[in-house]
Amino acid sequence: MFIDTEKWQEIFRTLGQHKLRTALTAFGVFWGIFMLTVLLGAGKGLENGVTNGFPRVSNFINIWSQGTTQVPYQGMPIGREILFDPGDAAAIVKNVNSVSLVKGQNSIGIWGGTPPYTVYKSKNGAFAVQGGFANIEGIQALRIIKGRSINAFDEQQRRKVVLIGQRVVEQLFSKDEDALGKDITINGISFTVIGVFESLQRGNEQQQEERIYLPNDTLRYAFNQIGWVDNLIVVPKPGVHARVAEEEAKKYLAEIHKVSPDDKGVLDSFNLQDEYDKVQGLFLGITVFSWVVAIGTIFAGAVGVGNIMLIVVKERTREIGLRKALGATPASIIAMIMQESLLITAVAGYAGLVVGALTIEAVAKMLEASGGNSGFFSNPEVDFQTALMALAVLIAAGVLASLLPAAKAAAVNPIVALQDE
C-alpha cells in the first residue's frame, strides 16, 4: 500500500508548530476515553463483587408456612397450622408446569430454638444444622474448599455425612488437623465430615460458616422430623421467571392444604430472582451513566479539536487557496483536514484507552494480591466488546470534530484566499 509520506510530514509539521495548543486539545479526548474505561471497569468490579455474593442459582424461590389459617375454607375451621408434607415436593414438580425442581428443607437452631451440641474429641460447639441436597452450594452461595458437597447418593441412602463451615472447623479441630473423614457427633449422633465450605455471601459470612449441612432426609430421620418439612426450595424451568413459578407453586400448595385464596398470611415466600433483577437493573443504570458522562467528555474534547482545526484552517487560508488554484480538489482539502483531526483524536483516544485499561489492571492485581476481592468490589475489568465500543466512539468523535473545519476549508475561494493577509 502506498503511503503519502510528504502529506504526513506536513500534518506533523503543522501540529508541531502549536505543540501546547495541540496537547491541551488532545487531552480532552484522552480524558474522556480514560474516564469511560475506568468508570466501566470500576462498575464491572462493583457488579462482580455484588453478584459473587449471590448464589449461582439466582432464580430459586423459598416457600414456607408462617402461621395458622384465618379464613374458613371447604369446611375447614380457622386456626389450622399448615405443615408441608414430605411428598409436597414431588407433587409440585408433577403438577406445576413452571417448576423444574423442588427440595424440602428442615433445620435445627435456625428458625428459633437452640442449636444442637456438636462434639469432636475434647472440643465442642453449638452450631445450626440445616438440611441439604445435591447442589446445595449453588443455592446457599457456598464454595467447597475441601472435600466434596452433598450428592444424590447421600440423599437417596440417607447417609450420615456432613458438610461443615470453615468456622466450625476452626472451633472443633486443631490448626493443622484435616477435618475430612473425621466423625463428629451432633446431639449424640455420629456423622462423617465429607467437605468444608466457605461462604460467598457479603456481610453474612460468619453466620453462614458456623453452619452444618447434612442430607435433608438424614436430618429428618435422625432428629425426629419425619412428618414434615420446614420449607421448600423451588427452581423454575429454564426460561420461566421465578415470579411465575412462585405464584403457581403457592397456589397449588394452598389447594392441596385447603387454604383459602383470601387467606394471605399463611404461605410466605422469598423470590431471589426479583432481587437479582433489581441488582442487574442498578448496574445497567451505572453503565449507562458511565457512558453518558464519558461520551459527554469525549465530545467536549471533540469540540476542542474542531476549534483548533478551525484556527488551523484560518491560519492556512492562503495555503489552501494556493492549493486550490494549483488544482487541488475540494475532496483532497477535506481529506487533509480530516486526517489532521483524526490523528489528534486517534492518538489521544488510544492513549486514554491504554492508560485506563492499565489502571484497571493494576487495581485488579492489587485486589488479587489481597485475596481477590474487597467487600463488594471484585475483579474490575474492561472486556474486548467495551474496547471496540470505545474505539467506535473515538472514531465518531474524530469525524465530528473534522466536519465543520473541513467544510470551511473546502469552501475557500482561491482568489479571495490569495489576497488574504
More confident: 92 or 265: 92
pLDDT digits (tens, 9 = 90+) for 178-221: 999 999 999 999 999 999 999 988 767 788 899 999 999 999 99
Q: Which pLDDT score, from 0 to 100, does residue 2 have?
A: 47
pLDDT > 50? residue 1: no
Which segment, 15-19, 117-121, 331-335, 355-359, is predicted with the most confidence on average?
Answer: 117-121
Task: Give 40-51 pLDDT, tens digit per residue.
Answer: 888 888 777 777
**What per-residue confidence (pLDDT) applies to 305?**
72
* pLDDT value for 47: 77
Judging by beta carbons within 10 Å of its beta carbon (0-12, 13-18, 19+), is residue 226 exposed, middle or buried? exposed
pLDDT at 9: 64
* Cβ 54 vs Cβ 372: under 8 Å: no
256-260 mean pLDDT: 92
Any idea where the domains of the chain sit in the sequence? 5-54+277-418, 67-103+234-265, 107-227
Q: Which tens digit of pLDDT belongs to each residue from 134-188?
A: 999 999 889 999 999 999 999 999 999 999 999 999 999 998 899 999 999 999 9
Q: What is the mean pLDDT of the chain?
A: 83
Under 8 Å between Cβ of 14 and 312: yes
Q: Note the pLDDT of residue 14.
A: 63
Q: Determine whether 161 is exposed, middle or buried from the number of CB atoms within 10 Å of its CB (0-12, 13-18, 19+).
A: buried
DSSP 239: T
User: Is pLDDT at 3 greater than 60 in this prediction?
Assistant: no
Provide CB contacts within 8 A for 192, sequence distance 6+: 160, 161, 162, 181, 182, 183
Which residue is associated with the grid cell 453518558? 292
